[in-house]
Chain A
Amino acid sequence: MIYDIAVIGAGVTGCMIARALSKYKLKIALLERGNDVAMGASKANSGIVHAGFDAKPGTLKAKMNLRGNELMEDVCRELNVPYKRNGSLVLAFSEEEMETLHELYNRGISNGVDGMSILNRSELLAVEPNIGDEAVGALRAQTAGIVCPYSLTIAAAENSVTNGVEFFRNFEAVSIDFADDIFTVSAADNKIETKYIINAAGLFADEIAAMIGDNSLHITARRGEYYILDKSVGNLVTHTIFQCPSKMGKGILVAPTTHGNLLIGPSAIDIDDKNDVSTTAEGLKEVSALALKSVPGATTRFAITSFSGNRAHEDKNDFTIEPSSVNGHFINVAGIESPGLTGSPAVAEYVENIMRGIIDLQLKENYVTTREKPFRYHLATDDEKRAAIAKNPSYGRIICRCESITEGEILDAIHAPAGARDVDGVKRRTRAGMGRCQGGFCGSKVVELLARELNISANEITKFGGKSDILYERTK
């Protein structure tokens, strides 16, 4: 079979593009090198829907940010993804930084951002009483929000697959050939043929482009380290709290997550190995210290986990979304770092329009715009719980104690379109293992359920695919 379009990379960008194009009568393949969607930066970022005052006016980053912010609420409603327009504050710790806030404000006005205001200290404390003593004022942006980035990616992938997109996991493209207007994308043990390629390979978009001889991209991994703090401090702030941005990014933030935890981070340092997502003592220390300056209560004494993610920083410092100069059937969607999550619905729309200029897009008669709302025991009312358990008793068996996640929810995650195949996949879809004990109790049960449902033995189950084995052979 020859696909019309192959999207390379199942991060938030690739999945949102696949979803946008799945409305049309097209045969689409979504290729992912990992064992799941959202395996790169999409699972390890700040989860912020930015207002849009950061990006330089006129850049694609600015345009995608504004349009994405506008679209995000509806997208999250359609896909049933946790989203909240909580507003953001950029803190100033000196008069000099107050100047920076005014610059940001003016930039925001040029970019078309609504709902901004500059607060003095007392106005700041009125909206966020737990801010540190050193803050003298803040730029408030009421259109900023928070979204769960991997939930958005997963939901977009599910919706795409429901609409006929084929998801190939563990498909790591190693070469691309082009002959008779057909691309052949080869992985180690598989290959597909396609008329068009959308290169949404994140950190590796430059390497994928180079496979067709397009050397116009150069991407550097910019590491960001984070802590997740316990829900007991999840209410310290309601806004996303930024510090003044630097050349390397938007600085350390303190933000509530859509799940009620507090997120602090990220650090920003360029690294050589794109695959290296390890945390460092220095990075974590920096995050921990700087976060305290913004919100003194946000101490890492409440840390339940730390992680790191790599931003795909492209040399031009802007998004690249255009057909390759080498081959017009190959669309680069590259350099998607912040505000890439915010911009993802807009990037999808933008790519959809590019494709409309290249091929004839005909709407399917019965495409589905929404993703069904997954049952969430811990969010359900007593009546909803009773009804759900009556219909499916496995919603009455709690597997993850910390987050109250039931067996039924885990089975749903495994059997969903583009469903979970490993322990981390279950975790991202259900939150099983994301609580205080970090899977100490439920980890082995999740392994057991995956093995049972996928009909393989427990020692074939991995943490996140590949060689991330959990168990070895049976005991004697």
Chain B
Amino acid sequence: MLNYDLVVVGGGPAGMAAALRARDFGIKDIIILERAETLGGILEQCIHTGFGLHYFGEELSGPEYAARFIELVEDQRIEYKTDTMVTDVSEDKIVTAVNKEDGLLKIQAKAVILAMGCRERPRGALSIAGTRGSGIMTAGTAQKYVNMDGYMPGKKIVILGSGDIGLIMARRMTLEGAEVKMVCELMPYSGGLTRNIVQCLDDFGIPLYLSTTVIATHGTNRLEGVTIAQVDDRLQPIPGTEKYVECDTLMLSVGLIPENELTKNVGIKMDRITNGAVVNEMRQTDHEGIFACGNVLHVHDLVDYVTIEAQTAGEGAAKYILGQQAKDPVYVNVTTGNGVRYTVPQMVNIKSKDDIKIYFRVGQIYKNAKVVLTCAGKVVSAKKKVKLAPGEMENVIIPDDVLATLAESDEIKVEVAES
């Protein structure tokens, strides 16, 4: 059995930022366990730019953004193991991992940060009828083939789902010489960032069909075409709107699912909306000393926010290890009102001494609406927003002086007020 103060599961942007922040707070014995061949996580295959605008104030590519943190990890001599898969985390914080060199590893940690990221929803979850030939893949898999392996995974492409990866891949495949015929989106709005719709579709003349889905795939061996159809407001295909589209590739960008198998095995309380753990303002789960951050906690649209969240988790873990965590916390749940799908954190310690930023997502598009934060029945803030969209994460701040006035029985609520 090995012993470390802090084990960080996952060496992507979340894991690295968390480990670095814990080091800043004086934690020496840290190890990052990463399943891929290198640190950096999914950023390594995101060779487009747009990363770091918020955090660094400049536009970086994914690998550049990751490289800044990898360098710091190296400089700080934070230990890490790549090609190492964590297969279990126990309630008493024994981490089991495996790799070629060390074989089976058992590590007793004082604190654990879960930063495993997310995976893409596959075709199976959609139950698209039809043939099951090759040429149907998630946008992320296609991205790996093109950007990492250097192969074209398709030439005539239909993309289902207007998530950010799908939009990015529409542009990427076009630049590589493929014909991207369309992006179909089941919902009446896109799940991706507005800037991606403009820069990846509009600029290349790729049509985005809203309220449209793929209902069947054709072609016994390689995909030969798909049938698309418009959907009604119950998201059911409308008979008579079917259209055949010839293509050799169907790329799916239909949602990301936090990879929480390890989390669930520990028995950590989960949030049914985020598919991540329920956490407090330091991103600690209901199991003391086990923290979660990044896309494993909830799916972010910008890596910049992942970094910031991970730093909070890193600080929380460090304070836990050092015994500096606030004693006898009093938790109040953050409830979601009109229009708000979820918040992170889901609970806050009202004895916290700092402002607490509550991140949230809305369930549909709002124009000229207000984001209202209510604490103990009083409206704390009502911020006007020109546009709120499910694809863009929002936040509100609970000021420290408001926190100080709250009691255990009080309610904290975030909601959208329509004008």
Contact = CB atoms under 8 A, between A and B. Distances in A.
A147 B206 CA distance: 48
A277 interface: yes
Contacts of B145: 444, 471
A300 interface: yes
Contact of A440 (B100, B140, B151, B218): B140
Contacts of A305: 122-124
A168 B219 CA distance: 26
Contacts of B134: 462-464, 468-470
Given A404-B87, A458-B151, A385 B98 contact: yes
Contacts of B137: 440, 443
B44 to A, nearest CB: 13
Interface in B121-155: 122-125, 127, 129-135, 137-138, 140-141, 144-146, 148-155
A471 B135 CA distance: 8
Interface in A370-417: 382, 385-386, 389-390, 393-394, 396-398, 401-402, 404
A437 B100 contact: no
B411 to A, nearest CB: 31
A353 interface: no
B35 A401 contact: yes
A393 B99 CA distance: 8
B222 A468 contact: yes
Most buried by B among A227, A281, A396: A396
Nearest to A377: B98
B85 interface: yes
A304 B122 contact: yes
B395 interface: no
Nearest to B178: A472
B132 A307 contact: yes
Interface string B68-98: 0000000000000001010100000000001
A304 B215 contact: no
B35 A398 contact: yes
Interface string B309-346: 00000000000000000000000000000000000000
Contacts of B401: none
Given A303-B127, A444-B141, A470-B134, A390 B103 contact: yes
A475 B119 contact: no
Contacts of B154: 472
Contact of B133 (A394, A439, A458, A463): A463
Contacts of A394: 100
A303 B124 contact: yes
B130 A459 contact: no
B151 A466 contact: no
A468 B104 contact: no
Nearest to B36: A441
A468 B103 contact: no
A304 B124 contact: yes
B127 A474 contact: no
A279 interface: yes
Contacts of B125: 303-304
A389 B132 contact: no
Contacts of A31: none
A334 interface: no
Interface string A303-315: 1111100000000
B5 interface: no
Nearest to B102: A396
A284 B104 CA distance: 42
A428 interface: no
A440 B120 contact: yes
Interface residues of B, number: 52
A277 B131 contact: yes
Contacts of B152: 471-475
A398 B82 CA distance: 12
A330 to B, nearest CB: 29
A475 B124 contact: no
Contacts of A393: 100-101, 103
A438 interface: yes
B100 A458 contact: no
B103 A385 contact: yes
Given A275-B220, A476-B176, A382 B104 contact: yes
Nearest to A227: B127
Contacts of B149: 444, 448, 458, 471
B221 interface: yes
B104 A278 contact: no
A440 B136 CA distance: 11
B150 A440 contact: no
Contacts of B130: 278-280
B104 A386 contact: yes
Nearest to B147: A475
B382 interface: no
B150 A474 contact: yes
A284 B129 CA distance: 8
B216 interface: yes
B99 to A, nearest CB: 5
Interface in B208-229: 215-218, 220-222
Contacts of A300: 127
A475 B151 contact: yes
A351 B62 CA distance: 62
Contact of B221 (A281, A443, A466, A471): A466
Interface string B163-184: 0000000000000110000000
A458 B153 CA distance: 11
A459 B151 contact: yes
Nearest to A470: B134
Given A277-B132, A396-B103, A306 B140 contact: no
Nearest to A389: B103
A440 B254 CA distance: 13
B97 to A, nearest CB: 10
B120 A306 contact: no
A373 to B, nearest CB: 20
Given A471-B152, A474-B150, A436 B119 contact: yes
Given A443-B141, A459-B151, A471-B151, A438 B100 contact: no
B98 A280 contact: no
Contact of B99 (A396, A401, A459, A476): A396
Interface string A127-140: 00000000000000
Given A470-B135, A475-B146, 19 more contacts: A278-B129, A305-B122, A389-B100, A389-B103, A396-B98, A397-B99, A398-B85, A398-B98, A436-B119, A438-B122, A440-B137, A441-B119, A444-B144, A467-B221, A468-B134, A470-B134, A471-B153, A472-B153, A475-B176
Interface of B: 35, 83, 85, 87, 98-104, 119-120, 122-125, 127, 129-135, 137-138, 140-141, 144-146, 148-155, 176-177, 215-218, 220-222, 257, 259, 261
6 contacts: A385-B104, A396-B99, A396-B101, A443-B137, A459-B151, A474-B150
